[in-house]
Structure 1
Amino acid sequence: MNYLHDNDDARRWAWLALLNTASVLLSLPFSCVAPFVALVTLAGLNMNRTDAFLLAGAVFLANQATGFGFLGYSLKFSTIAWGVAMGIGCMLAVWAAFETARYAAGKSPLLRVLLTFTAACLVWQATMSVTAAMLSPHGAFNGRIIANMVAINAGSLLLLLGLQYAGQRLGIAPRARHALTGTARA
């Protein structure tokens, strides 16, 4: 299946919906800490730019709906500001993941995954750190929290890579463009 040129939109949307659902399910055990970095790493390695941003936006909105709708997040300024910052961080991380995956196209598959994950993680954490400095200047975002977020995303990435592999075998997930073939795409 050629994911980028396939006319089967049903498969494409089913895959995006499956990843969105998986991300929401992965976030529930961690009180709505969505594995954004893991997801954008997978998207940067395997999707075209449009689908990567669509998926990130859908996961962000689903995460916010879960937090405000089911977990009782308050409608205070700081909570909404954190949500906006998370959305911005997610989109910046998609860009970082996509560009890093493109840059690392000639590298080994493991190195491509590690570089893409690291770039997305650094951009995400930088965005969250700046936000924390503005909204919670008394250390609400410390090294322990950052380490926990990295661990959640690393574990989630392993699960999502397994899901990607299974989806490829079932014919609904895109073949890895950057992760395995080394070909660049726009």
Structure 2
Amino acid sequence: MTQRQNAIRSACFAAIATLFSLALACAAPFAALAVVAAHRQAPREALLTLLLAWLANQAIGYGLLDYPVDATSIAWGIALGLAAVAALFAAQAVISRLKQRWLALAAGFAAAFAANQAVLYLLGLGLPGGEGAFTWAIIAEVLRANLLGFAVLLAVLGIADAVAVKVSARIAAAR
């Protein structure tokens, strides 16, 4: 895959995560995105994808959703970014060890979600509001957002792959 194709894929993944940020505010599906990026991209491109999605999420939060611009909010934003990166590293570690695609994706999702929530929990211990941020209801809502995001990302990838196969076949036939 060319650098241009990698950049386009990163931008597409980040755009999908951005749409979720608009719809779900702070419940952006970073764990889901981390798994798909880990599965479909080289480590560097996957990290770029996650960082683009996180930046877009923060821009939407502060620019459109009127997040308060204060030390607590900024610290939570940084915590979200660190947790997204942790989710990516966990997904990469699991996916790189499993050969069966669906098992790798499922185990990668579990690892990414667990890492994401663990990092947020640990960082939240030192942040205002951290003690109330981890109720079962909130974790369930974040899990639901990530499962939905995961399903949408996998569907988009499936469609993109099918289109790529047809386009490649037509190009080959035209030669």
Assess if the C-alpha contact under 8 Å between 2:30 and 2:84 holds in 1: yes
TM-score, scaled relative to structure 1? 0.82
The one-letter amino acid paired with 1:90 is A
Q: Which has the higher contact order (CA 8 A, sep 6+)?
A: 1
Unmatched runs of 5 consecutive residues or more in structure 2: 166-175
Assess if the C-alpha contact under 8 Å between 1:32 and 1:66 holds in 2: no
Larger helix percent: 2
Unmatched runs of 5 consecutive residues or more in structure 1: 173-186
C-alpha displacement of 1:104: 1.5
Backbone CA RMSD of aligned residues? 1.6
Name which of 7, 13, 22 aligns with 1:19: 13
The one-letter amino acid paired with 2:113 is C
What are the equivalent positions in structure 2 for 1:128-143 lying under 5 Å apart? 128-135=120-127, 136-143=129-136
**What is the SS of the residue equivalent to 1:103?**
coil
Say if 2:101 is the partner of 1:75: no
Name which of 117, 130, 147 aligns with 1:125: 117
Assess if the C-alpha contact under 8 Å between 2:35 and 2:91 holds in 1: yes
Deviating above 6 A after TM superposition, structure 1's stretches of 4 or more consecutive aligned residues are none
The one-letter amino acid paired with 1:47 is Q
Assess if the C-alpha contact under 8 Å between 2:38 and 2:46 holds in 1: yes
| Equivalence for 1:182 | none
Distance 2:131 2:90 in 1: 29
**Larger radius of gyration between Structure 1 and Structure 2:** 2
| Equivalence for 2:146 | 153
Distance 1:42 1:137 in 2: 28
C-alpha displacement of 1:131: 2.5
